[in-house]
Amino acid sequence: MIAKLWKPSALILAVLALLPLILAAGNTGQIRGTVTDKQTGDPIVGAVVKVLGTANSAVTDRNGNYLITDIPAGKYVLRFASFGYQVAELSDVHVAGGMTTEQNVRMESTPDLSRLVEDREEEKKADALYDLAPLMFLDKSARCAPGQVVLEGSGLPGGYPPAHGGTAIVNGEPFDAMFFKQYGTNPFVDTEDDSLSTFAIDVDDASYIMTRSYLERGYLPPDEAVRTEEFINHFRYNYPSPERGPFSIHFEGAPSRFGQNCRLLKIGIKGSIIAPEKRKDANLVFVIDVSGSMGREDRLGLVRKSLRMLVDNLNENDRAGIVVYGSHGKVVLEPTSIEHRHNILSAIEWLQPEGSTNADEGLRLGYDMAEKMYEPGKINRIILCSDGVANVGLTSAEDLLERIKRYAERGITLTTVGFGMGNYNDILMEKLGNKGNGFYAYVDDFAEAKRIFMENLTGTLQVIARDVKIQVEFDPQIVRSYRLLGYENRDVDDDKFRDDKEDGGEIGSGHQVTALYEIKFFKENKADRIGTMYIRYKDPDNSEVTELSRDITRGDFRNKFENCSVDFKLAAASAELAEILRKSYWAKGSQFSDVYDLAKDIFRENDSQEIVEFMNMISKADKFTGERAEN
């Protein structure tokens, strides 16, 4: 007689299924605590707390508190770092599974930096006075004597004159010498004339941050400062990660909320995510603008804080060198292992503004250093921190691009990070970032620096695909006309899509790319397939070229805009805000109030701080536009 087989109960099966999670939870713990100033007892905000040997870290909140979770049980060294303080380390910190370890630290001000910190506090106070003046780019040497009042339109004692000469800013602009380029606005294209739409991808969002900075200061941005694709790509959408390969591709469409008699199509691409502990080792060169115009807390001061945070989050196998430029370029720190991070941090803290702006010489020295540091299979990157204004040596983007492109082809990439409002060159910074096979970012405060250099550090450093181009082929029997929203300065000739010498864009770990099309259909043709999207890219390590394709069908469209995902609505709202701000012909009938109403609907589904900030930007833009019309 055969024995009856034992069948486990549903409860036992459930416990067995959860057992790995239970065991994992029991093998991890957490560390929490408070970081304060040793002398005053005040909480230290923004201190970086890192569990060495792991990817676990945190930043202290406004009360100086931090919490680090999911730490494997064991014994660790805990490092505390913050601007103006000596790095503190606690050894033999024990983490037990399922337990919370408390570690409070009192950090001591760096003696050599104590006067520097005091000076910067005085600078912050002086900056409040300077908000009355049009000159937004003065260094410490230009501070007013006690009791002096600066009136708008007057010169400042000992300060820089406006870049164009005289004592007042030209054309009634709020800030002096802001350089942007007008790339025009994409029109509707009839498919019988051209059924192909081709462009290089763009993950930058500098235009959105720049616009936010203008609005927060009480001004509308110049029309040419607004790039629609950078508004769309500022937001993180809930695209699933690819199951295999570097990308996942997603379509969603519906009748347009704003466009007339057309449908809106959203194309989304999500890059694969590389875990921080699996990131390639990095050889970095910081090329830092220390010219006189950088001598403010929101410029060189913010550069110091940003790079300090970056260094504190690098791995022990990474290396960094520092080149600066004012009137001349010079090497401040030869390539140094992150194991000696205190040497790197000391060099960063003692940067001082001086002279004119010889970006050409600074970049040349930076590339010389990067070439000496170069190692195949590693991240070899230059990070340029500047206001983008060059007035000594080669000064135009075109003069600098050829050299940068040659190095990019050899694997030495360039990321440009812009700082400052007034005397700022967006044109140069964007072009250098694009051609350098890196990207372009704009940093207006510490929170933005944290997003780039800590929260998205792996994506900032490690590229997963190079020269990425997209081509959409619309079926001329179904689609009457189409319009790509934005990407005007990333346009690629249709016949260059499969020319692998043609420059494209770069995608980093976890990066997303989103593009919107307005589409008009022929009503009588109800065929399912409306077109095909092709994506072509190079492997970052061996330059092997791959091309993918996917059909776009009517099944990708909803019948009503209201039935679409919150991501679709957010992309549509951000694009329309940009179109109105840059005075697009295709948004001439749109109102800020309509965009705000949609943003309120989005907030009901996504009540994040980012959406609150977006709504605030719309409200300010509406207010300032009304005030301008009244005047």
Q: List C-alpha distances in Å: 578 to 433, 437, 529.
A: 22, 26, 30
* H or E element, residue 196: strand 196-200
Q: What is the pLDDT of residue 350?
A: 86
Class of residue 187 by CB neighbours under 10 A (exposed 0-12, middle 13-18, buried 19+): exposed
Could you tell me if 227 and 578 are in contact, meaning their C-beta atoms sit under 8 angstroms apart?
yes
251 forms bridges with which residues in the sheet? 267
Torsion over CA of 315, 321, 326 and 329, rounded to 10 degrees? -160
Tell me what the mean pLDDT of segment 580-596 comes to.
95
More confident call, 319 vs 459: 319
Average pLDDT, the chain: 85
**CA–CA separation, 190 and 399 (whole Å):** 37
- Is a pLDDT exceeding 90 seen at residue 467? yes
Tell me what the mean pLDDT of segment 41-55 comes to.
83
Q: Going by DSSP bridges, is the β-strand pair 512-521/196-200 parallel, antiparallel, or unpaired? A: unpaired
* H or E element, residue 22: helix 10-26
**For residue 5, what pLDDT band results from cuts at 50, 70 and 90?**
very low
More confident call, 38 vs 59: 38
Q: What is the pLDDT of residue 159?
A: 41
Q: What is the pLDDT of residue 388?
A: 81
Whole-angstrom Cα Rg for the chain? 26
Q: What is the pLDDT of residue 131?
A: 33
Number of other CB atoms surrounding residue 214 within 10 Å: 25
Tell me what the mean pLDDT of segment 442-456 comes to.
90
Could you tell me if 426 and 225 are in contact, meaning their C-beta atoms sit under 8 angstroms apart?
yes
315: CB partners within 8 A, 6+ apart: 279, 281, 282, 338
- Is a pLDDT exceeding 50 seen at residue 122? no
- Is a pLDDT exceeding 90 seen at residue 399? no
Strands of 115-185, DSSP E = 178-179
- Is a pLDDT exceeding 60 seen at residue 550? yes
Instruction: With CA atoms as reference, report the closest residue to 233 among 490, 25, 445.
Output: 490
* Per-residue pLDDT tens digits for 301-328: 999 999 999 999 999 999 999 999 998 9
pTM: 0.75
More confident call, 283 vs 126: 283
What three-state secondary structure class fits 596?
helix
Least reliable range by pLDDT among 32-41, 155-164, 168-177, 246-255: 155-164
Q: What is the pLDDT of residue 83?
A: 60
Q: List C-alpha distances in Å: 313 to 29, 52, 318.
A: 21, 10, 10
More confident call, 180 vs 62: 180
Tell me what the mean pLDDT of segment 510-532 comes to.
93
**For residue 129, what pLDDT band results from cuts at 50, 70 and 90?**
very low
Could you tell me if 271 and 535 are in contact, meaning their C-beta atoms sit under 8 angstroms apart?
no
* Per-residue pLDDT tens digits for 152-180: 333 333 344 555 555 666 666 788 788 89
Tell me what the mean pLDDT of segment 235-257 comes to.
94
**For residue 144, what pLDDT band results from cuts at 50, 70 and 90?**
very low
More confident call, 496 vs 135: 496
**CA–CA separation, 378 and 282 (whole Å):** 6
What three-state secondary structure class fits 290?
coil
- Is a pLDDT exceeding 60 seen at residue 134? no
> Which phi and psi angles does 127 have, rounded to 5°?
-60, -30
H helices within 451-591, ranges in order?
457-461, 566-581
**CA–CA separation, 595 and 82 (whole Å):** 40
- Is a pLDDT exceeding 80 seen at residue 10? no
**Domains, the chain, ordered by start:** 22-109 (2.60.40.1120), 189-274+464-630 (2.60.40.1230), 276-461 (3.40.50.410)
**For residue 130, what pLDDT band results from cuts at 50, 70 and 90?**
very low
Least reliable range by pLDDT among 79-83, 554-558, 581-585: 79-83
b vs e for 595-631, b when ≥16 Cβ sit within 10 Å of the residue's Cβ? bbebbeebeeeeeeeebeebbebbebbbebeeeeeee
Q: What is the pLDDT of residue 245?
A: 86
Least reliable range by pLDDT among 48-62, 145-159, 433-447: 145-159
Tokens 């805990």 correspond to: 78
**CA–CA separation, 434 and 436 (whole Å):** 6
- Is a pLDDT exceeding 90 seen at residue 21? no
* Per-residue pLDDT tens digits for 563-582: 999 999 999 999 999 999 99
Least reliable range by pLDDT among 29-33, 51-55, 363-367, 452-456: 51-55
